[in-house]
Amino acid sequence: EPEVTQTPSHQVTQMGQEVILRCVPISNHLYFYWYRQILGQKVEFLVSFYNNEISEKSEIFDDQFSVERPDGSNFTLKIRSTKLEDSAMYFCASSGTGGGLIRNQPQHFGDGTRLSIL
């Protein structure tokens, strides 16, 4: 069964540095998402992406964050200048094959990238 894959599994970065988290969504999916989960807290939505642009974003997704689909397979999340509070597990998800209503199609999640800011 196709899977969403994320790399790296663990990223350690100095505060103030830029970090890029990478995701390869399921190949025929059209919608892409990033979520984060701070240790011990709920999973929080960051952003959704469709047709090469952001379709929704949360209050968390400020100017320090950006997303990109640089080619036909990767979907990246960039944090420009990391802060200690950015330490979390970041999950990528994808959904929507284009057949049927998009809202009926569930999101498939990757394993996540644990981001540790020092």
Partner 1 sequence: AQTVTQSQPEMSVQEAETVTLSCTYDTSESDYYLFWYKQPPSRQMILVIRQEAYKQQNATENRFSVNFQKAAKSFSLKISDSQLGDAAMYFCAYRTNTGNQFYFGTGTSLTVIP
Binding site for partner 1 (CB under 8 A): 3-4, 31, 33, 35, 41-45, 48, 50, 55-56, 58, 89, 91, 93, 95, 102-104, 106-112
The least distance separating partner 1 from the CB of residue 52, rounded to whole angstroms, comes to 15
Q: Is the preceding peptide bond at 70 cis, omega within 30 degrees of 0?
A: no
Look up residue 108 and give its two tokens.
């498939």
The least distance separating partner 1 from the CB of residue 83, rounded to whole angstroms, comes to 23
- Cα separation, 12 vs 80, in Å, equals 15
Nearer to partner 1, 64 or 89 (CB): 89
The least distance separating partner 1 from the CB of residue 65, rounded to whole angstroms, comes to 15
> In this structure, are strands 31-37 and 19-24 parallel, antiparallel, or unpaired?
unpaired
Nearer to partner 1, 1 or 71 (CB): 1
Nearer to partner 1, 3 or 18 (CB): 3
Nearer to partner 1, 35 or 79 (CB): 35
Strand order in the sheet with 65-68: 5-7, 19-24, 75-79, 65-68
The least distance separating partner 1 from the CB of residue 40, rounded to whole angstroms, comes to 8
Residue-wise burial string across 22-44, b where 16 or more C-beta atoms lie within 10 A, e elsewhere:
bbbbbeebbbbbbbbeeeeeeeb
